Amino acid sequence: MIEFKVDADSAGMRLDKFLRKKLERVPVSHLFKMIRTKRIRVNARRAYPDQALQAGDAIAVRGTEERLLAPAPSRNRSPVVDVSQLRVLLEDTWMMAIDKPSGLAVHPGSGISGATLVDQVRAYLGTYAVRNDFAASPAHRLDRDTSGVVLIAKRRPAMVRFTELFTRGQVKKHYLALVKGKMPRLRGIIDIALSEHQQTAASKAQHGVKMQEALTRYRVISQTKEASLLECVIETGRTHQIRRHLSAVGHPIAGDRKYGDFSFNREAKARWGLRRLFLHAQQIEFPHPEHGGKVQVSAELPSELQEAMKRAGLNIDA
């Protein structure tokens, strides 16, 4: 646990801006997620990104100093950015929706070399990437190996609003996944609690493994005896939730090197030409952060996944 005390000079500052200065290493999207999931509290109460701080306020952040207070990446980091590779699905003055390819990291971090989605977005926006001390940032995360729709907040009010929408469950995300074997039912719910992904070893030793509620709904689109193509909708946003849930029920995602089945992955590569994780964020639905109107954005299934699916004898139009 890390604690900050608000001094007189910081009185009146918004919580999100205060934390950006104190936790420089933490990506904006993760910072807002920590607020949304109550990992950050003000005076032992639920925190809100846009709340104004008062002198003497106590801010508690769940996490370790080693993880959260490490030096920020060098400001001189300047990877080569190819903006032509950025696939913009939707853009207005408040937000963007990007079709992220598999293999592209969303944020810079340890073990990440080369340009990230954040780098591409900010290079694309140029002088408009930063407004009122807020740099355009993803409103949520997507695994490096997962492709599909990612929402970008271009303004601080948009990020605050997206945080509220995710907190209230008003954002609906649809994924496509090819999994091992034939599913027992054409529709189902996987309701299995998952261990907190970022819990430290010290915390586990002191408090035990912390479990989080997690719920994934699935629908079979097409299947054979060997594999099934699923549409998955998550009710919660746990780290690697779909991958962990499907693995837990004996139907791991093809190409998943962390939670998958090695033999199945090898067969999928040899017979279907699958060389990546078959998980794609196909569609996202949400109220627009400015006017509240319904927005639906879709990203076409990448050609390499379409080809592997066809070779596996699966049909997305089934």
Q: Output the pLDDT for position 209.
A: 73
pLDDT in tens, 88-102: 999 999 999 999 999
Q: Under CATH, domain 83-167 is a member of which superfamily? A: Pseudouridine synthase (3.30.2350.10)
State the average pLDDT for the chain. 90
Q: What is the band of 198 on the pLDDT scale with cuts at 50, 70, 90?
A: low
Residue 253 has pLDDT above 90, yes or no: yes
Please give the Cα distance from 17 to 4 (Å, whole number).
14
Question: Domain limits of the chain?
Answer: 2-68, 83-167, 172-311
What is the model's pLDDT at position 189?
97
CATH topology classification for 2-68: 3.10.290
Q: Is a pLDDT exceeding 60 seen at residue 38?
A: yes
pLDDT at 274 over 80: yes
> What pLDDT is attached to residue 102?
97
Using one digit for the tens of pLDDT, what is the confidence trace for 10-29?
Answer: 888 899 989 988 888 788 88
Res. 243: pLDDT tops 90:
yes
pLDDT-wise least confident of 75-84, 119-128, 160-169, 231-240: 75-84
What pLDDT does 111 receive? 65
Which of 32-41, 98-107, 117-126 is least confident?
32-41
DSSP string, the chain: -EEEE--GGGTT-BHHHHHHHH-TTS-HHHHHHHHHTTSEEETTEE--TTPBP-TT-EEEE-S-HHHHSSPPPPTT------GGG--EEEE-SSEEEEEEPTT--SS--TT--S--HHHHHHHHHGGGSEETTEE-EESS---TT-EEEEEEESSHHHHHHHHHHHHTT--EEEEEEEEES--SSSEEEEE--EE-TT--HHHHHHH-PPEE--EEEEEEEEE-SSEEEEEEEESS--TTHHHHHHHHTT-PBTT-TTTS-HHHHHHHHHHH---S--EEEEEEEEE-TTT--EEEEE-PPPHHHHHHHHHTT--TT-
Fold agreement (83-167, 172-311): yes
Among the listed residues 58, 35, 64, 62, the one whose alpha carbon sits nearest the alpha carbon of residue 48: 35
Task: Give the pLDDT score at 57.
Answer: 94
CATH architecture of 172-311: 2-Layer Sandwich (3.30)
User: pTM value?
Assistant: 0.80
What per-residue confidence (pLDDT) applies to 85? 86
Q: How confident is the model at residue 70 (pLDDT cuts 50, 70, 90)?
A: low
Q: Which residues are catalytic?
A: 143
